[in-house]
Amino acid sequence: MESPDEIRRSAPRRVDLIDVGGAVLACLADVHGNTAALDAVLASEDFALADAVAFLGCTTTGPDPRGVLERCAGLQMPVFHLAGNGERRVLEFADGIRPLEREVDEWLVAAHGDDGLATIGSWPGGLRVARPQAGGLRLCHGSPRSDIEVLTSLTGDERLREATTGVDEAVVVHGHTHVQYRRHAVGKVITGAGSVGLPYAASPGARWALISDEVRLMVTPYDLDRAAALIAATGYPGEAYLKTLRQPPSPEAKTAAAEKIVFSN
């Protein structure tokens, strides 16, 4: 159970209104520093259809924070970011708000470096995309009200209404749960983009979303052995990361577990 203080800090400090400058937007959530997975998505024919890309948080928190930031900075299209609970935790570690608990916590702060910490510290907690013809688009990490709220394909309408209170946009796309889904509920299209770096899925492949006049759920295959080699080369101390990459929990199991809670960090 997350503490009231943690839930308070999980509320977005800032929600930016953005112009994506085109008809097709790629939404990439939970890259988690997996550059092999990100490289595959960025090189895919599906991604080539996008006019802009939005990263939905927990982008850098993993084996290669700087590598991910470099790839994002090098994209030749409009690029937008929002911060997830992963970025917030790293900043709280760096600022002393949250005590370091594991070896990986200290490693992540150092791996971001001062420039990386400044970059992720500049990101808002949510994004609004003006799309009058489609009723608008809200992008968030956990939910519009919290970067640690877990929304799934089974979340009840009452909680969905609470989670989207004050959200006028017709389409909500989120990350955090690492499970890909799309549903119509409470008068909106609610979509879990899945995870690029650590998807909970029945088969390998980076999960993400491509949004035009509809929401398309995408799967991009990539080489897990290459990912493992790159992770080992960084010296990343998170042993569970590689195990989860190779043997992810099923989406059904994670969805069922998520529905027993409301907030999870």
Percent of the chain residues topping a pLDDT of 90: 89
Please say if the pLDDT value at position 213 is more than 90.
no
pLDDT at 131 (0 to 100): 77
Residue 206 clears pLDDT 70, i.e. is over it: yes
Average pLDDT (164-191) is: 97
Task: Give dist(CA 225, CA 262) in Å, integer.
Answer: 35
DSSP per-residue string spanning the chain: ---HHHHHHTS-S-EEEE---SS-EEEE---TT-HHHHHHHHTSTTGGG-SEEEE-S--SSSS-HHHHHHHHHT-SS-EEE---HHHHHHHHHHHTSS---SHHHHHHHHHHHHHHHHHHHT--SEEEE--GGGT-EEE-SSBTTBTTB---TT--HHHHHHHTTT---SEEEE-SS--EEEEEETTEEEEEE--SSS---SS-SEEEEEESSSEEEEEE---HHHHHHHHHHHT---HHHHHHHHSPPPHHHHHHHHTT-SB--
pLDDT tens string 223-265: 999 999 999 999 999 788 999 999 999 999 999 999 999 999 8
Residue 133 pLDDT exceeds 70: no
Task: List, for residues 44-88, the tens digit of each pLDDT value.
Answer: 999 999 999 999 999 999 999 999 999 999 999 999 999 999 999
pTM value is 0.97
CATH of region 4-258: 3.60.21.10
